[in-house]
Amino acid sequence: AFLLSESMRGEGGVLKNIHGKRFCHNYHKLAELAPRDVVSRAIFSEMQKTDSEFVYLDLTGLEKDFVKNRFPKIYNTCLDFGLDITKEYIPVSPAAHYYMGGVETDLWGRTSIEGLYAAGETACTGVHGANRLASNSLLEGVVFGGRSAKAAIVDSKHKTLQKNNVDYKDEIDLSDKYEVYLQEIQETMWENVGVVRNFDGLAKAVSYFNEKLEMISDKKPANQKTGEIINMFYVGKLMALAAASREGSRGAHFREDFPEKSKEDYHIIFKDGKFSPINR
Ligand SMILES: Cc1cc2nc3c(=O)[nH]c(=O)nc-3n(C[C@H](O)[C@H](O)[C@H](O)COP(=O)(O)OP(=O)(O)OC[C@H]3O[C@@H](n4cnc5c(N)ncnc54)[C@H](O)[C@@H]3O)c2cc1C
């Protein structure tokens, strides 16, 4: 699978369910041009209704040459998969594509820990709304990467770096099960912390991650792969806990048990071992 550009809908591509029926207008007056989260949920709901793992994107109503020239890479990649998108429907599904939220920073990438900076997708600079707009992520990486580097230079003048030694008791090696855990994490997140969320699913995800983190306890990762998996366990748990704390829906965070948009404009932050809402 690979990512299809949203601009294909912008140029006139339409979504159809597996029975060949358009459906987006049943969910939003802007139909295929509705905001990202609305279209994702419309597709998700249609996939459930038709018991299918995909819907179709139909570009066959557009001029053949226009499609080839406007989307040359997608056209050729689909051809490699044996699909001529000027003549055939493309099977599509929503996918996790960007991590909204992250380590809270100021507008110079400074985190709450002195000397620690975050930029790019890992950071929460506050520049994105309830949906990140297409292509703003790369722009964010460039702008805030530069800004945090400048801040680090200024802040570190006349300062000496302190080395922080962590006192680990034992070592743990999960590299043999890297692929297994990766798949489990992806499935847990997709099923419970995905397009449509509810308390029970989020609690299920939290208990999966708790169980894994208990096994790790305060052991030292034996290698990079183990470190990556442990980080994913922590991030997955934090995402599920934050989503469970947020009893309302906004943009890509949709709670079917709290479908109304929460009135307050707040973020959920994790500080001193606790989640709490803050206005920003
Ligand atoms: C399929 C897809 C298509 C996308 N298309 C677009 C688009 O068209 N426009 C747009 O703006 N955005 C797009 N995005 C989002 C965008 O690509 C990402 O948000 C962006 O690349 C994030 O950049 P980054 O440098 O912050 O993080 P990353 O690119 O994830 O880089 C982080 C780096 O850190 C390394 N790393 C991780 N852990 C450690 C560690 N412990 N120690 C050392 N190194 C570590 C990783 O290996 C990686 O190289 C897309 C995303 C996806 C998945």
Domain boundary among 92, 115, 134: 92
Residue 56 CA, ligand 1 centroid: distance in Å: 27
Residue 224 CA, ligand 1 centroid: distance in Å: 18
Number of separate helices (H) and strands (E) present in the chain: 8, 9
Query: Domain for residue 1, yes or no?
Result: no
Residue 169 CA, ligand 1 centroid: distance in Å: 33
Pocket test for ligand 1, best of 8, 138, 147, 223 (most atoms within 8 A of CB): 138
Atom of ligand 1 nearest to the CA of 224: 41
User: By C-alpha distance, which of 166, 146, 153, 154 is closest to 230?
Assistant: 166
Q: How far apart are CA 132 and CA 137, in angstroms?
A: 8
Contact call for residues 90 and 54 (beta carbons, < 8 A)? no
Query: Domain for residue 98, yes or no?
Result: no
Q: Which domain holds residue 227?
A: 171-279
Active site residues: 36
Which phi and psi angles does 117 have, rounded to 5°? -120, 150
Atom of ligand 1 nearest to the CA of 121: 26
pLDDT at 180: 98
Atom of ligand 1 nearest to the CA of 227: 41
Task: Look up residue 102 and give its two tokens.
Answer: 């992250």
Pocket residues for ligand 1 (CB within 6 Å)?
3, 97-98, 120-122, 135-138, 141, 227
Query: Domain for residue 161, yes or no?
Result: no
ipTM of the assembly?
0.95
Q: Using the predicted structure, report yes or no on whether residue 161 has a pLDDT greater than 90.
A: no
Q: What is the mean pLDDT of residues 253-279?
A: 82
Contact call for residues 107 and 125 (beta carbons, < 8 A)? yes
- Residues 200 and 273 placed together within one structural domain of the fold: yes
Which phi and psi angles does 2 have, rounded to 5°? -145, 170
Number of domains in the chain: 3
Closest Cα to atom 36 of ligand 1: 228
- Residues 186 and 274 placed together within one structural domain of the fold: yes
- Residues 16 and 85 placed together within one structural domain of the fold: yes
- pLDDT interval class at 101 (50, 70, 90): confident
- Residues 130 and 176 placed together within one structural domain of the fold: no
Q: What is the mean pLDDT of residues 96-116?
A: 90
- Residues 53 and 133 placed together within one structural domain of the fold: no
Q: How far apart are CA 127 and CA 109, in angstroms?
A: 12
Task: Look up residue 142 and give its two tokens.
Answer: 């460039």
- Residues 210 and 124 placed together within one structural domain of the fold: no
- pLDDT interval class at 280 (50, 70, 90): low
Pocket test for ligand 1, best of 137, 143, 186, 234 (most atoms within 8 A of CB): 137
Indicate the SS3 state at residue 90. strand
Q: How far apart are CA 29 and CA 248, in angstroms?
A: 23
Residue 230 CA, ligand 1 centroid: distance in Å: 18
| Mean per-residue pLDDT over the chain, rounded | 93
Atom of ligand 1 nearest to the CA of 137: 11
Query: Domain for residue 26, yes or no?
Result: yes
For 183-232, write each residue's pLDDT tens digit. 999 999 999 999 999 999 999 999 999 999 999 988 999 999 999 999 99
The residues, ordered by sequence, that sit 6+ positions from 105 with a Cβ below 8 Å of its Cβ are 111, 117, 118, 119, 123, 124, 125, 144, 148
Closest Cα to atom 29 of ligand 1: 121
Q: Is 11 exposed, middle or buried (0-12, 13-18, 19+ CB in 10 A)?
A: middle
Q: How far apart are CA 259 and CA 249, in angstroms?
A: 5
Residue 110 CA, ligand 1 centroid: distance in Å: 19
